[in-house]
Structure 1
């Protein structure tokens, strides 16, 4: 049987994604951690946490699972216990990435729409507590996944690969757990993104009109409004990150709903699971692009990083020649 077009695409897609996504997230973590992007410490905490989670997803889900299984089927990482652990870590990292994005979205909602709660909630300490809680709960709820796999094949008396246990597929209790898992992540976050962003957009439109009317009455219609400028920058960053998540996870939602409504056999010959996973994984690289497009200070820091490594490579080459 020949290799399908989609298999040919994925065999190239995943290595390119890893080659681009891993350095991009590492650079993002370094730049944001330096604290020179004119972002609050609260926002910086969330963005660094999201980048670290995305880096973990790329490492476990793309490199150690997709790429290794595709190109190195006899490696250490394809041994069944290791494979099961990697699947569990990948699911946990994905859950962390999703809910940190939810936390960031809610933080910006409070900062923009709830001025009285802003001082109390939108702090570095609160962000740290939210991040720690998300990590702990995400790891905890994903532990059962480790026990749902068995070896796919035996090579040299070693169990290799991961496939679902038959008892897992047919068990009503496990079916309930899977349903709960996909409800908590990503279906519930998807609904929260739509709800919170809708409320934020509505508040922005109403408050913007009121501020323009008040400034017009006070003769300030031709001057700049620093509050609105700062709010606009925060809104652009918020809507870009949330919009990217909604767009790239839409196919996952369609897949989950279709599988629950029609049954897994309906999608047995469909490319939707692979396509949805490809788009979902792409979300691990988009945030860096968003920062570059929306944050001037981040672009400046990125240029400095590129110059630094460029000069370092030139010096290294010169020293090797001599």
Structure 2
């Protein structure tokens, strides 16, 4: 997830957005490179979104499906899932390379890129755009909300049973450390679902608008209301790719423990301190002699 989100930052922010402001006629503005970069942007975004879905499903299985947990939550399964998601995301983004064309020619050299006019009229391109809109982000919307809802439902049912076994009613506080952990898990799942849906909803609206209106994507007219909506959606979408990994990682107890261990790493483990300790040990031995 971290690698996929970092890829979004590199391909979408640095090589696509920032370069136009600071390096308008650089190597990356050649049309073939621009087309390739757009395909890489789509691939990295798809990987980020679907790895988030896969991780959400993994948490659902770990909490709600005890029998499936032993066979699914393994390193081998994780490797297969990551490989499948990245491979399918890469294949799905290949047509995006051919959906754009040079925006302008300067001295017979193609510069920048824009969506082809035929993209909005040819049935094959329209079908591809519908498929892309359904796969990202509509289906992830549904899956993330569904799995997190089922997980929260399972946790609440387990809490009621635990309170009943401890002789407490559902309206009373159990003062149980395990219940506190489960409460934090519910907050985490709600934060993930809300973050994903809220930050992707603008992009989803702009995608659907293209299907039913005459609006065009990647138009360089920043006074146009639809362009402002589209670009705002891209900003929020990119923010979603940043925050998902942050929420998942920082909320994990083991991650925080490893981070604290790294920050509290004793000086005795550095080469300088090892040399210093050796000198101190030798001096003590000399004193004994």
Name the TM tier (shorter chain).
0.7 to 0.9
Asked if 2 retains the 8 angstrom alpha-carbon contact of 1:88 and 1:142, the reply is yes
CA distance in 2, matches of 1:304, 1:75: 43
1:175 is aligned to: 126
Structure 2 equivalent of residue 65 of structure 1: 16
Counterpart of 1:117 in structure 2 is 68
1:180-195 correspondence runs (5 A): 180-195=131-146
Q: Which has the larger radius of gyration?
A: 2
CA distance in 1: counterparts of 2:5 and 2:22, whole angstroms: 23
1:151 aligns with 2:107: no
SS in 2 for 1:73: coil
Instruction: Tell me the equivalent position of 2:232.
Output: 275
Cα deviation for residue 65 of structure 1 reads: 0.3
Q: Given the two structures, how large is their TM-score scaled by the length of structure 1? A: 0.71
After superposing the two structures, state which structure 1 stretch, 252-261 or 269-278, moved more: 252-261
1:6-85 equivalent positions in 2, closer than 5 A: 50-85=1-36
Describe the SS at the equivalent of 2:166.
helix
Asked if the contact 1:152/1:159 (under 8 Å) is kept, the reply is yes
| 1:209 aligned to which of 160, 164, 168 | 160
Change (3 A) 1:132 1:239: farther
Question: Which moved further from structure 2: 63-72 or 248-257?
Answer: 248-257
On the 8 A contact 2:195/2:240 being kept in 1, the answer is: yes
Matching of residue 290 in structure 1 with residue 247 in structure 2: yes
The CA distance in 2 between the partners of 1:201 and 1:286, in whole Å, is 21
Q: Secondary structure at the match of 1:142?
A: helix
Distance in 1, Cα, partners of 2:260 & 2:174: 35
Using the TM superposition, give the Cα deviation of residue 225 of structure 1 relative to its aligned residue in structure 2, in angstroms: 5.3
Q: TM-score, structure 2 length as denominator?
A: 0.79
Measure, in 2, the Cα distance between the counterparts of 1:287 and 1:198.
17
Structure 1 residues 283 and 58, CA, compared in 2 at 3 Å: closer, same or farther? same
- Measured against aligned partners, the alpha-carbon deviations of 1:190-224 in whole angstroms (never above 9, x if no partner) come to 1111222222222221221012111328xxx9774
Q: Structure 2: which 5+ residue stretches go unaligned?
A: 266-271, 273-289
Aligned length: 256
Is the contact made by 1:151 and 1:160 (CA closer than 8 Å) also made in structure 2?
yes
SS of match in other structure, 1:264: coil
Change (3 A) 1:214 1:63: same
Q: CA RMSD in A?
A: 2.8
Tell whether the 8 Å contact from 1:108 to 1:234 is kept in structure 2 after alignment.
no
- Shift, 1:269, TM fit: 3.2
Tell me the CA shift for residue 241 of structure 1.
2.9
Higher helix share: 1
Give SS of 2:197's match. helix
How far apart are 1:152 and its partner, in Å?
0.7
C-alpha separation in 2, matches of 1:298 and 1:252: 31
Q: 1:118-166 CA distances to partner (integer Å, 9 max, x unpaired)?
A: 1111122111111110000110111111111111112233211011222
Equivalents in 2 of 1:135, 1:85: separation in Å? 17
Provide the C-alpha distance between the structure 1 equivalents of 2:138 and 2:99, rounded to a whole number of angstroms.
22
**Distance of aligned partners of 1:131 and 1:232 in 2 relative to their CA distance in 1, 3 Å threshold:** farther
